Structure formats: C-alpha cells, structure tokens
Structure 1
Amino acid sequence: MSLTNSPVIKSQNLILRGPEKVDIEPTITFLQNEQRSVFFGALLNRGDAWRWFALNIGHWHLHGFGYFTIVTKGEEIAGLCGVWFPEGWPEPELGWVVFDDFEGKGIAFEAAQAVRSWAYSKLGFTTITSNIVPKNKRSIALAKRLNATYEKEYHNDNMGHCYMYRHPYPEKTENN
C-alpha cells in the first residue's frame, strides 16, 4: 500500500508508484552505497537514509508530487524517478536513479519519459529541469537523450556545483 496519494503510472516495461514500506530497505541500501549514490546525495548514516525516505513521503503530501518507485514488470524495485522541488531549489526538477544491477537497461530513460509526460499532462507543468552534478556523465547523457538542453551552471545548496538542463516543452515531447 502506498504511503502517499500518488498515482500509478504504467509504461511499456515499468510501473511507477508511490513509496511503500517494502521500498525502505532497497532505498536505504542505495543511499548508503556511496559509489552508487554519490551524485544523488549519498547518506552513509542509516538514520539519515531513513529520514530521506520519510522526506520523500512528506514531499508528496506537501506538493502532490515526489519520487516514484520504479518497479519492473517482474516486480523488481529498480530505482526512483520523479519530480523534486524542496526548499532552495530554483524550480521543479525531474530526477532519476537506478539501483544496482539495473543501470544500462533503458529503465531511467523510460521512467523519465513517463514522469515528464505525467508532470506536463496531470500537473500542468509547462517546463521542467534536471539538475546534474558535472561529473555525472551518465545522467548528462540521459538528459540529452531526453532532448533536454544545457541551460546554465549554478550552485545548488544541497548538491554543490550543478548543470541545469531544461526539458522540451510539452508540445515538443508528444512524439518522443
């Protein structure tokens, strides 16, 4: 059972749903793996990682959006993808991460397309960005594959030095 009022989004190979209790351990494992989560915000302390999970639930309640859990059709928890807009962010962000053993399979691309489409059609967004740490080459490549364009560099209070990529406007994503 979802801990939020989030919708369920189904794509060709994935189910994107709100956080559930079953997601706590995979999310904490990801956040505590510094090598995997360094660009997302590694939280090596288990308590801090647990609090991030709870923060995402609160984010859903405050904003009506947050990170979805990415679930494969085989019911494997594969990562997180969603819209994030905490205090201090310049504007809403489309973010994604995939957990160990799921990278390089097109999961983040498919999830990001589905969440971006939902943000435009259901939330009424007319634009969305992705904030990416410059050393995160895989996310930069994915942003470009999603037809997002580099807009500027800025200092993010949480992530440090970031590149901001702007995603195409809704009418330009319909055929992607």
Structure 2
Amino acid sequence: MKAPTLHTERLTLRGPEASDFEKVATFFTDEERAHGFGGTLPRDQAWRWFASTIGHWHLRGYGFWTVMAKDTSEQLGFVGLWNPEGWPEPELGWVMFAQAEGYGYATEAALAVRNYAYTNMGFTTLTSNIVPGNTRSIALAERLGAVLEKTYENIEMGTEHLYRHPSPQELGL
C-alpha cells in the first residue's frame, strides 16, 4: 500500500522514499535521539530499520510518514503508526531530527496522523510506547492528551511506558 499524503498548516506528510535514508542514518548515529528507538545503529542496520518502515505499509496498511516542511521541503522527521510483530497494539510514534525540535512540528504531525487514523482508517485506540527517561517523548504524549496506562516489557525495547491516547469519542471525532 502506498502511503496517503497528509497536509497540515506547515507540514506535508508523505510516504518514505529512498532519498530519506541519509537523515535516518544520521539520526541513528545520535546516541541521545536514537535512545528512544533502541539505541544507535550502524548504517547497514539503520537501512534495515528504514526498509522495514516501508514494508510495514505493505504488510499492515499503515506506517511512518516522512514529515516535510511545506515552505522549504526540508525533511524534518518521521511520524506514524507502528505495530511490528510482538507489539502489544498499534502505536503512534515519532522521530524528529535535531534541527526540527522545538517548533511544534512533532505535535502538529502527530495530531494529523492520529486524526487520520481515527477518521479514515477506523482505529479506535492508539498508544505511544516510550522508554523511561525519554522526557521529550513523554512531554509530547502528554501534550497530545495521552496518559500513562502501564509499564511493560516490550519484546524489542525492554521496559517501556505505554501511554494511551484519547479515543475518537473523547476527541469528538
């Protein structure tokens, strides 16, 4: 399945393309930022992660969108829906690149993806799985109205906090 293109006031969210990989590879060399995704990865393993995000669209019918600035076409990060084998349920996740932090892009993109998942894809609930200590992601989840539901052992990531997002009904959708 090809990812639909979503638009917000400042952003375009499109399906991942081969040209997106360089920023992904750079992201996975940054210990602080990659920590929330299991840690740094060598280039070949970053490629496998990136390829799996593309395959996720074909296997599940949803996945990560590439977040682009409308005014400059700069690649800002990835936001999307993730549910690989072993995950407890579908997750709303995000990766923002260093130059894109602090501008509200992650919030804007995550709201667009969540609303699309609820109104166009039939999702009735979403979570965000966040490793303990990832204060930026916790703050974003809370800005989105998600609440800590439990701590659990993620098959891939180890101990994680599961934040539950408001349902479509709670959001008035």
**Aligned positions of 1:22-61 closer than 5 A:** 22-61=19-58
Name the Cα RMSD after superposition: 1.2
**Residue number in structure 2 paired with 1:69:** 66
Q: Distance in 2 between matches of 1:84 and 1:51?
A: 15
- Residue 174 of structure 1: how far off its partner (Å): 4.3
**Residue number in structure 1 paired with 2:143:** 145
Residue type of the alignment partner of 2:14 = R
Residue type of the alignment partner of 1:113 = L
Aligned match of 2:113 in 109, 115, 131?
115
How high is the TM-score relative to the length of structure 1? 0.94
Structure 2 gaps of 5+ residues are none
Secondary structure at 2:80's aligned position in 1? strand
**Residue number in structure 2 paired with 1:102:** 100
Aligned match of 1:93 in 82, 91, 94?
91
Secondary structure at 1:165's aligned position in 2? strand
1:46-97 deviations in whole A, cap 9, x for unaligned? Answer: 1000111111111010011011000011100000000000000000000011
Structure 1 gaps of 5+ residues are none
Q: Distance in 1 between matches of 2:109 and 2:7?
A: 9
How high is the TM-score relative to the length of structure 2? 0.95
More displaced 10-residue stretch of structure 1: 42-51 or 65-74:
42-51
Q: Distance in 2 between matches of 1:8 and 1:69?
A: 10
Residue type of the alignment partner of 2:85 = E
Runs of 4+ in 1 over 3 A off after TM superposition: none
Residue type of the alignment partner of 1:159 = M
Check whether the contact 1:8–1:16 (CA below 8 A) recurs between aligned residues: yes
Check whether the contact 1:31–1:41 (CA below 8 A) recurs between aligned residues: no
**Count of matched residue positions in the alignment of Structure 1 and Structure 2:** 172
Check whether the contact 1:143–1:149 (CA below 8 A) recurs between aligned residues: yes
Q: Distance in 1 between matches of 2:102 and 2:34?
A: 16
Matched-pair identity in %: 54
- Residue 172 of structure 1: how far off its partner (Å): 2.4
